[in-house]
Every structure is written in structure tokens, then in C-alpha cells.
Chains A and B, each alone.
Chain A
């Protein structure tokens, strides 16, 4: 005799988020989880990057900004712009320990 429930398949639904605190890119004013004006698809095609100053932008937006400026500065705080190294978002307390390839600019696979 028995009563058993076995899960054969669980089609769960999740939404991803860049986890970027402030919801809107400071340059294009579009949500981080959306795409910048030039981007067609969100997510992999519209990555979000952080500068060492802690401000986040869409990669496309900040690249455009930087290429238009003579000096490489964060458009918010005017500090010199440098991409923050690890892929960890500032909000995240615990860094992921296993990082396949540390990269100056973390692009999602």
C-alpha cells in the first residue's frame, strides 16, 4: 500500500534579471532588462556592464558614449571610466567562486 507522487517533469517558469539595482540605464533610459534603442533582443544581446565607479549601463550605450568622448569618463560621476572586472554585480554579496575565464568585461555566454 502506498501513496506516492513522483515528479516526472516540472516545467517551471522563471524570469531573468540583470540584478542591476536601479532599473533604468542612465543613458538610454530603457530598463536594464529590456534592450537599448539599437538592440534587438534583451539579455545576451544587450548586456549590462558596471564601471568601477559602480554605475551600470547597457554595453552598447556606454560604448557609444565613450567613443563619442575624448576623455573616458562615467557620464554620471565624471570619474574615469573603467569596466569593473568581475562579473559580479555590486548587489551580490558572495562572488561566484568558480569563474571559467576571468575577463575584463564579462560577456554572458
Chain B
């Protein structure tokens, strides 16, 4: 390079430097800023370009500007916020922010314009030279802006995002508040019904989101008159916001700003949805929430986002995003309270509708299943919950989820643990059957809620369901194929869709145990109990229930029950016939030789077809002669009418109505035959020894004591102990006033002994009876071996008892053995059993 050109170049460089210094100083003084529209070209650029130093110029200019920004302008900006921002009210914050941004922006704008001029010069100067320069120069502006953004963030004295969060949150709250106020104003114009109570603050927090019935409509109105909102706040309010958002965009920190307002908007929406949704199940939240979102947060975003096409686009994106956010948030809130929603069903139907819509628009299914299951587990499936409550909740769950998800996938996932748990409870079947057949439960349950009603309802539409399900012809099969839809993705592929579609509540309940046989068996037991406890022959109610059950389970399965009910009707008819039969026309074998026929007046027997009733508890008692004669006479009359059929009495079953007179007071009792027999023994003899009485009525002494306590409690008998330790029972001469039977002088009391209300053998008793077979085996074993642990007894039984095969579990055996221990037949010592 020649000497001269070096000199020229350095002169040009110096000229460039001075002009740059001058211009930058001018740019820093904000007062001059406004006047300068076009920056004069810098000097010496063409020369420098000509010698190929254009690139150097660009780099120098950038670094120069960077220094200036870092040391002066950005410091100035942060100086505004030196005192921290937590204590700044929004309006002050806005003013400060506005001023700081204005200053910084004007500088940056000035710099940008200078860069534009410089770029033009450089391009012009290097028109003929190599290509690379052009690329550097063209990106000059961009790299400048990037530098600004980077500097702005890295030199921050306090977090910019915190600052913006604070600001945007304040602005949005103001926006909501203003909306509320404008709405309140509108309302006060419409009707004079403004709630003067409630401070302004409260109204503000509640914003426009507090619920009225016309809330949604008003929100829609607000949305339509979006422009009028601006009027409410004044144009400047929106402009300030817009300016700040724009300035941040210019400063290259758009990302931070966007992050901040996105967070603010989401928090805002979440807050309001929580207020609106939590613990409110009787109202649809979604439509109002979506309307609100487009009325408030979206309008806010419209101000914050850049105007023009890009802004419209991102606004549209935001609309979708917010919509989804609403679905998601409402869904999560509702899912968290799903258990309560189910409890409140059907009052909570609107909430259920919300969940359905949310699940349709989001992918919260998995969360739904997990959280609802967890809630059910924690709140329902524990020892403290009554079985009937669990079943009730299960029924509500089925009903609710049927609304939420017609495919049944959710129900399958959520219902499984409940089913599993119910299966482990002993009284589940009994509870279900009770609920199913209890048509008297009007009081505690809402009409149409009880399972009995469900039974009636399903019976009505059962036929319709069946007919279209079983498409036989080609046409219907084709239609079914067209209607086919794939299972949802989260469905368990091991199960068929058909099993899932089984939504009918009764069959779901029955399916807890997998088969209806258990169910019907339990129903039969309960029916037998009910019928035996009756004192008349009227069983219309039972007939109704039975007819409904027959529709559901089929006639053949309930044949036994049908016969049982028919027995009642037959008993009534035969009873009528027998009464009409003249007493003296009959010479029965039993009463032959007696002068006087005993009266059968008090007898109202049930004559049952033994094979069709469940097995009865075996409890032999000796009936007093007085009653036995009545029974025999009755049986003889029956035989004469129905020969060759005979009656076999089951003396321990039934009920007896007694009137007991003690002194001058008469009290009515309704008791079991056993109690009656016990008390009748005292008619002729005033006191009994326990053992003698036991022999008289044919009971083991221990049982006698348990049963006779009833009369002692009633104040009819007294119990004392002989010196020998034996119990003595004597009739009272005076009815004890304190006895429960003494409620009012001569009042007719109907007391039923709890213990004996179940006359039918329970499943447990039946098991005990089955186990009784093994007693001799166990005894034999223990004779040979002296002592054996449970394990070995179990194994030996398994090995040696083949006909019928021993099929009990070790637990069943353990309970049987402990019963033997309780009966003092065996002894349990150090984990092994031995004979006493």
C-alpha cells in the first residue's frame, strides 16, 4: 500500500471518528433527539471503503455504540429502578417504566437511524468491491439490536422479567377491575339493584367473574363492545401499555416480555377459574369461563401484542391457547373434586358436563383416572366406610361416569378398585340385595335414586336394549358394522368393548361377584327371612320385587323364590279352609279319645314347600303340650284336606304374639317361639333351676341363659344364683317399672328379639355345618398324634379326606378349629392344637 494512501486513510479515519463522536453525543442528549430526523452522513466513509476498511468501520461503530449503551444509557435505565420494585404501585411503576423506556428507546432509535445511514454509505462506498462486506453491512442493524437486547438483560440490576411480571399483573388486574366497574355501572343504569355492600376491593378481586345468572350474557356484551372498554379506561391507558410492549419489542427483549405477560395471563385465568369452579357443582363453568377469557385476557393481549398481521396471527394463536388452557384448568380443578361431585350427583350434573367437555378437548384422561382413583381409595375404601355407603357411591360413580364417558373406559379403570374392595367385604351382597329390594326407602333418598327404582326402570327398557343389540339379519349386522368405532387408545385391550358397554347399574353391581347365582341365593335368604317374620299372609310388596327381579334375572333362576311366595298364598287359602272345617267332623289320631277339641284359634301357620326354601337353622325345642295339641290338631285337619300330604312342624320358626299379665298389668309381646316356650314354662311353675328349665325346653344350658336374658331384661323374670352356682329363674310378681316393656301403664309393646330375627341359616352357618364333618377327622388325628399345628392338620385333611374332597382353605380350617377351642373340645397351646 503506498504511503500516500495510508495518510489519506488515516485522515479519513480521524474524520470518521470525530463525526461519530459528535453524532453519538447528539444522540445521547434527548432534547435534541426529537428534531433530528435524518442523520448526516459520516465523514470519510467512502475513502475508508475504497481502501477496504468498510468492515473495520462497521465493527468499530458497533463496539462504540455498545460501550456507550452499556456505560451510559442502560445504566440510566436501571437507575430508575434502584429502589426495587416491590413497593412501587402500578401507576408509579408504569410512569417510571414509561419514562425509562422512552429515554432508552429514543437513544436506540437514534442509533438505528445512524446505522441505517452508515449502512447506506458503506454499501455505496463498497459498491465495486468484494461481496463479503455487503453481508456484514446488511446484518449491521440486526447485530446492533441483538447487542441491545443482550446488554439490556446482562447488565440488569434487578430481574427484568420480575419487573415485567409485576407490571403486567398490575395492568391486567386494573383491566379486570375496570371491566367490572363498567359493568356495574351498566347494571346500575339498567336496574337500581347495585349491591352497595362489599367493598370496592372485594368487587375487584371478584372482578367480573362473580356469578350471576346473566353473567355470561353480560360478558358477551362486554366482548362485543371491546372498543368501549378502551373508553372506560381512557385511550391513554391502553396506549401506555401498548407503548411499553412495543418499546420492549424494539429493545430486543420481546421474549422476556412475552414470557411475562403469558405467565400473568395464565395466573389470572387460573385464579378466576379457581374462584369460579371450586366447590360449585351446580353450574356450568366452561361457557362462562370461555366467554370471560375472550372478554378480558384476550383483550388485554390484543393491547400487548404487536398490531398488524403478525399480531393478528399471534392473537389467533393465543385464542386457541387460552381456550385449551381453560379446558385444562377447569378439567384439573374438577378432577380434583371429582369425589365430591360424585357424592353430590345428580345435583352436580353441570359440573359433570364440564368434565365431559374438558376431557373431550384435552388429554387429561390419565390424570382423571389416577386422581379419582386415589381420592376414592383415600376417602371411601377404608374400614370406616359403611358398605351401603360404598355401594351408594359406586352407583353414583357409575351414573356420573356414564355421563362423562359413554365408552366406559374411565368407569372400567375407576370402578375396578371399588369392585375389588367390595368383593372383600362380607356383607356386600346382603347390602346390595337389601338396597335392591328395599322399596320403602323414600325418606333418606331422593325419589328415583334408590336401587329399587333403578330395578323398575331397567325392567322397562331391558327389552328395547336387547332387541337392537342382537342383530340377526344381514342388514342389521351391516348397520352395526357401520356404526363400529375403535376403542379409545387408553382402553384395556384385554377387555372387549361389549363388556365395557354394559352400563346398566344393576348388572354392574351383580358383576361385582361375577355371577348372579350368589345374588339370587342371598335374595332367597332375605326373602325367606322376610316372609317368616310376617304375622299375616300379605306379601304384595314381595311379589312386586320378585316380578321385577324376574324380568332381570329370568324366571328359572327365581323359581324357588316364586314357590316361596306362592306358599304364602297357599297357606292363606289352606288356613281358611282348615278354619271352616268343622272341628267335630274330624277324629284325628292325635286327639282321639279326648272329649273336647282344642281350639286352633291362635294358630296362623305358614305351610311351606320345604325343598324350595333355604335350609333352616337346626334348633330343636320342646313345645309345651298345650301348644303341641294345637299343632297336632291343625296337622290332622290339614291331612284330612290334603291327604296324603302331611305337615312337619318346625317348632323353632315363626313368631308368637303373647299377652303377659303380671299382677294387674297386661303387656303384649311379639317374640320367637323359643321365647314363648320359655315364658310359658313359668305359667304353672313359679321358679325354675337353669338346668331343669333347659331340659324342659330342650336347649343346652348355655344357650338357655342367652335366650332367657330377654325376659329378664323385659322385667318379666328375675335371675338369681343359687349357692351352688346355678342360675335360678323366677317369675316376677310385679312388672318392673324400669323394664323397657313398661312404657306406660298397660301399653301394648311390640318387642322383637334381635338375636332371633334371622331364622334362616346364614352362609357362615352353612360353612360351619360343612366343616362339622371334619370334626371327627381332627379328633382322630389328635388322638393319635397328641398335638399338631394347623398346617399339618390342613395337609392331612387334604391328603386323607377324599369323599367328598376336602376343599377348605387353611383360614377356614383355622376358624373352625378356634370354634372347637371355644367349645372346649380342643386346646390351643404354643401354636399347635391338642385334645382336652
A residues sitting closer than 8 Å to B (CB atoms) are 1-20, 31, 33-34, 40-44, 48, 87-89, 92, 94, 96-98, 106, 108-109
Q: Please pick, from B570, B602, B610, the residue contacting A8 in the complex, using a CB distance under 8 A.
A: B602
> Could you tell me which residues of chain B, from 647 to 668, have a CB within 8 Å of some CB in chain A?
647-651, 653-663, 668
The answer to whether B650 touches A13, judged by C-beta atoms less than 8 angstroms apart, is yes
The answer to whether B644 touches A10, judged by C-beta atoms less than 8 angstroms apart, is no
Q: Closest chain B residue to A8 by CB distance?
A: B657
Residues of A within 8 A of B589 (CB): 94
The answer to whether B668 touches A33, judged by C-beta atoms less than 8 angstroms apart, is no
The answer to whether B659 touches A13, judged by C-beta atoms less than 8 angstroms apart, is no
CA distance A21 to B471 in the complex (A): 52
The answer to whether A5 touches B608, judged by C-beta atoms less than 8 angstroms apart, is no
Q: Closest chain A residue to B532 by CB distance?
A: A13
CA distance A18 to B662 in the complex (A): 44
B632 to chain A minimum Cβ distance, whole angstroms, is: 11
- Take A13-B654, A14-B607 as given contacts and tell me if A42 and B563 are in contact as well, using a CB distance cutoff of 8 Å: yes
A53 to chain B minimum Cβ distance, whole angstroms, is: 16
Main secondary structure of the interface of A (DSSP, over half): loop
Q: Closest chain A residue to B681 by CB distance?
A: A5
The answer to whether A6 touches B563, judged by C-beta atoms less than 8 angstroms apart, is no
The answer to whether B661 touches A2, judged by C-beta atoms less than 8 angstroms apart, is yes
The answer to whether B655 touches A96, judged by C-beta atoms less than 8 angstroms apart, is no
The answer to whether A88 touches B661, judged by C-beta atoms less than 8 angstroms apart, is no
Q: Spot the interface stretch: B202-210, B424-432, B634-642.
A: B634-642
Residues of A within 8 A of B535 (CB): 9, 11
CA distance A98 to B630 in the complex (A): 20
Q: Please pick, from A6, A48, A87, A97, the residue contacting B658 in the complex, using a CB distance under 8 A.
A: A6
> Could you tell me which residues of chain B, from 603 to 651, have a CB within 8 Å of some CB in chain A?
603-613, 627, 630-631, 634-635, 638-651
B585 at the interface (CB under 8 A from A): yes
A36 to chain B minimum Cβ distance, whole angstroms, is: 13
CA distance A7 to B562 in the complex (A): 31
- Take A4-B660, A4-B683, A5-B658 as given contacts and tell me if A10 and B643 are in contact as well, using a CB distance cutoff of 8 Å: no
CA distance A1 to B586 in the complex (A): 39
Q: Closest chain A residue to B640 by CB distance?
A: A96
Residues of B within 8 A of A13 (CB): 532, 605-606, 608, 649-650, 653-654
- Take A2-B661, A42-B563 as given contacts and tell me if A106 and B643 are in contact as well, using a CB distance cutoff of 8 Å: yes
- Take A2-B663, A33-B610 as given contacts and tell me if A108 and B642 are in contact as well, using a CB distance cutoff of 8 Å: yes
The answer to whether B644 touches A18, judged by C-beta atoms less than 8 angstroms apart, is yes
B653 to chain A minimum Cβ distance, whole angstroms, is: 4
The answer to whether B607 touches A33, judged by C-beta atoms less than 8 angstroms apart, is no
Most buried by B among A7, A48, A92: A7
Residues of A within 8 A of B683 (CB): 3-5
Q: Closest chain A residue to B732 by CB distance?
A: A3
Q: Please pick, from A10, A20, A106, the residue contacting B656 in the complex, using a CB distance under 8 A.
A: A10
Main secondary structure of the interface of B (DSSP, over half): mixed
B residues sitting closer than 8 Å to A (CB atoms) are 532, 534-535, 559, 562-563, 566, 570, 577, 585-587, 589, 602-613, 627, 630-631, 634-635, 638-651, 653-663, 668, 673, 676, 679-680, 682-683, 686, 731-733
Q: Please pick, from A3, A8, A12, A43, the residue contacting B651 in the complex, using a CB distance under 8 A.
A: A12
Tell me the total A-B contact number using a CB cutoff of 8 A: 170
10 further contact pairs, Cβ within 8 A, besides A7-B656, A12-B606, A43-B645: A3-B660, A7-B676, A13-B654, A15-B613, A17-B647, A19-B644, A19-B645, A88-B643, A88-B644, A108-B643
B625 to chain A minimum Cβ distance, whole angstroms, is: 13
Residues of B within 8 A of A109 (CB): 577, 641-642
Residues of B within 8 A of A11 (CB): 534-535, 604-606, 654-657
- Take A31-B611, A96-B640 as given contacts and tell me if A14 and B605 are in contact as well, using a CB distance cutoff of 8 Å: yes
Most buried by B among A11, A18, A33, A92: A11
Q: Closest chain A residue to B588 by CB distance?
A: A96
The answer to whether B686 touches A3, judged by C-beta atoms less than 8 angstroms apart, is yes
Residues of B within 8 A of A9 (CB): 535, 602, 604, 656-657
A107 to chain B minimum Cβ distance, whole angstroms, is: 10
Most buried by A among B534, B611, B647: B611
Residues of A within 8 A of B657 (CB): 7-11
Most buried by B among A12, A87, A98: A12
CA distance A11 to B648 in the complex (A): 14
Residues of A within 8 A of B585 (CB): 98
21 contacts between A and B (CB under 8 A): A3-B732, A5-B659, A5-B683, A6-B659, A6-B661, A8-B602, A9-B656, A10-B602, A10-B673, A12-B673, A14-B607, A14-B635, A16-B648, A17-B645, A18-B644, A43-B609, A88-B643, A94-B589, A96-B643, A108-B642, A109-B641
Residues of A within 8 A of B606 (CB): 11-14
CA distance A41 to B642 in the complex (A): 16
Residues of A within 8 A of B605 (CB): 10-14
Residues of A within 8 A of B654 (CB): 10-13
The answer to whether A106 touches B644, judged by C-beta atoms less than 8 angstroms apart, is yes
A9 to chain B minimum Cβ distance, whole angstroms, is: 4
The answer to whether B627 touches A5, judged by C-beta atoms less than 8 angstroms apart, is no
A85 to chain B minimum Cβ distance, whole angstroms, is: 12
Residues of A within 8 A of B607 (CB): 14-16
